[in-house]
Amino acid sequence: MPSVVVIGSQWGDEGKGKIVDYLAQKADAVVRYSGGSNAGHTVVVDNVAYKLRLLPSGILYHGKTCFLGNGVVINPGVVLKEIHDIKAQGVDISRILISDRAHVVLPYHARLDELQEAALGSAKIGTTKGGIGPCYMDKAARTGIRMCDLMDAETFAQKLRIQIDAKNELFTKIYGVEPLTYEEVLQEYLAYAEELRPYVTDTGAALAEVFQSGKSVLFEGAQATFLDIDHGTYPYVTSSNPTAGNAATGSGIGPRDIDHVVGVVKAYTTRVGEGPFVTELQDIDGPGHHLRETGHEYGTVTGRARRCGWLDAVMVKTAASLNSIDYLAITRLDILDNLPKIKMCVGYKYKGEEIKHIPASLKVLAEVEPIYEEFEGWMSDITGTRSYAELPLNARKYLERLKSVTGVEIGIVSVGAARQQTIVLKELL
Ligand code: GDP
Ligand code: IMO
Ligand code: MG
């Protein structure tokens, strides 16, 4: 009956969806605990790619309970579309549970996200513009509207009135744009409420029952450690805590209920959106270009080109400490197949001196230089490899070095998007 948290160790898009889908074979429940539809998790099963934004990746199996915990912010239109689309693809949707404490993303949140980004100009965050930040702003300001409010037409109508009036003040007086129409939003959301009602419940209580009955639970992280509002490259972060500690708070379990933490690590680094990136490759025809094109590094949610760079083992080591990672899951190792030389950043230098920790100040971080080690590439196709021993020696040398820099065991190596393209070194469930 173990419980395992799967988190991103870099800036997102590490392949959390693929790893959760793989591990979910042996899990009874899968829980999303943070973020919202800013996440885009692609899971490939039998050559079909499923693009999930809010639904946990366990949804693709029959009979697993899929939770959207209290820490998630939910755009009803997005989640309902996801449910309809996935149902049309023949997936069982009867086991979805949505927290009555989760906050609801409303049209004014997305509108504010756009306006705030535009106002920042060249200092913009590069958000997914879905209103995730403004929804968490309302949550922290204690003016948010929760699923339990949406389920009660009278409460929702009252709370929405107050919020629309306040947001319209901002829209018209500060941003000089048209106000939103209360009645339109009200009717749209009351219709969503009826469709969502069968799924909405006290997920904390439901999850406690799952734990009590000795079942195994997977927690699916969204975003990643360096997008965490406390531990990431602030302000170029998301507005929630994707790190493993929030798996407890964001789902209503206690911290001692977590047995293992798997840190998903892409074999190189990518980032979508603005902000510092120590190992970024800005070439137009070198290894950075190779990684982007070979790896099809374009965002699932926004289609934006992802910035690419060498693997930063300092970040992974820091992520290991911040999340209590006990196993790494390395993904997309196959994308490095045709690179004759591969670099890994094993340390940071600032003003000529080696520094041990990632600086909080972005001004300092901008001046940090990576200390690289160079590896011989393996120059062969590893996508058919099914055991660690079968991997080319140079690939194993690269992985062993990551293990020694971070001090963390490798539990999984992924060599392709499909379920079977997964090498398991440690069974966790
Ligand atoms: P997530 O947000 O962390 O779930 O990651 P994304 O789904 O946004 O991006 C990861 C992409 O890599 C997806 O398209 C996956 O299907 C794909 N993927 C995952 N693991 C592997 C792998 O080992 N090799 C390859 N080539 N693709 C992978
Ligand atoms: P998954 O779960 C990669 C980034 C955005 C932006 C910043 C803030 O698929 O790994 P937001 O819309 O959250 O306010 O944007 O965070 N971002 C992600 N980048 N993967 C994600 O999710 C992300 N979710 C948010 O690009 O830089
Ligand atoms: Mg993604």
pLDDT per residue over 309-346, tens digit each?
999 999 999 999 999 999 999 999 999 999 999 999 99
What's the sign of the alpha-carbon dihedral 43, 316, 292, 341? negative
327-331 vs 260-266, strand pairing mode = parallel
For residues 389 and 299, the answer to whether their CB atoms sit within 8 Å is: no
- C-alpha 28 – ligand 1 centre gap (Å): 23
Residues by chain with Cβ below 5 Å of ion ligand 3: 13, 40
Task: Give me the pLDDT at residue 301, please.
Answer: 77
Pocket perturbation via mutation, ligand 2, pick of 6, 38, 73, 125 by most ligand atoms within 8 A of CB: 38
Cα(263) to ligand 1 centroid in Å equals 14
**Which residues are catalytically annotated?**
13, 41, 139
Give the distance (Å) from ligand 2 centre to CA of residue 422: 25
With left for phi above 0 and alpha for psi between -120 and 50, is residue 259 left, alpha or beta?
A: alpha
Read out DSSP for 237-303? S-SS--STHHHHHTTT--GGG--EEEEEEESSEEE-SSS--TTB---SSSHHHHHHHHTT-B-TTT-
Tell me how many helices (H) and strands (E) the chain has.
Answer: 13, 20
**Mutation test residue for ligand 2: of 14, 33, 82, 227, the one with most atoms within 8 Å of CB:** 227
Confirm or reject: Cβ of 42 under 6 Å from ligand 1: yes
Is 387 marked as binding a ligand? no
Indicate the pTM of the whole model. 0.98
3-state secondary structure of 215: coil
The encoded tokens of residue 141 equal 């300001």
Q: What is the mean pLDDT of residues 361-376?
A: 98
Q: Answer yes or no: is the C-beta of 8 below 6 A from any ligand 1 atom.
A: yes
DSSP string, 365-423: HHT-EEEEEEEE---S--TT--STTTS-HHHHHHHHHHHHHHT-EEEEEE-SSBTTSEE
Distance 40 CA to ligand 3 centre (A): 4
Q: Give the ligand at the shortest distance from the Cα of 224.
A: 2
In the prediction, which pLDDT does 330 show?
98
Would the pLDDT of 87 be above 80? yes
The distance from CA 359 to its chain's CA centroid, rounded to whole angstroms, is 23
Q: Is 309 helix (H, G, I), strand (E, B) or coil?
A: strand
pLDDT in tens, 4-39: 999 999 999 999 999 999 999 999 999 999 999 999
Polymer length of the chain: 429
* Chain segment 186-216, per-residue pLDDT in tens: 999 999 999 999 999 999 999 999 999 999 9
Name the residue with tokens 């968490």: 136
How close is the Cα of 164 to the center of ligand 2, in Å? 26
Q: Is the CB of 76 under 6 A from ligand 1?
A: no
The yes-or-no verdict on residue 140 having pLDDT over 90 is yes
What does the pLDDT read at residue 220? 98
Test site for ligand 2: of 18, 73, 127, 136, most ligand atoms within 8 A of the Cβ: 127
**Is ligand 2 within 6 A of the CB of residue 245?**
no
Arithmetic mean of pLDDT, 51-73 = 96
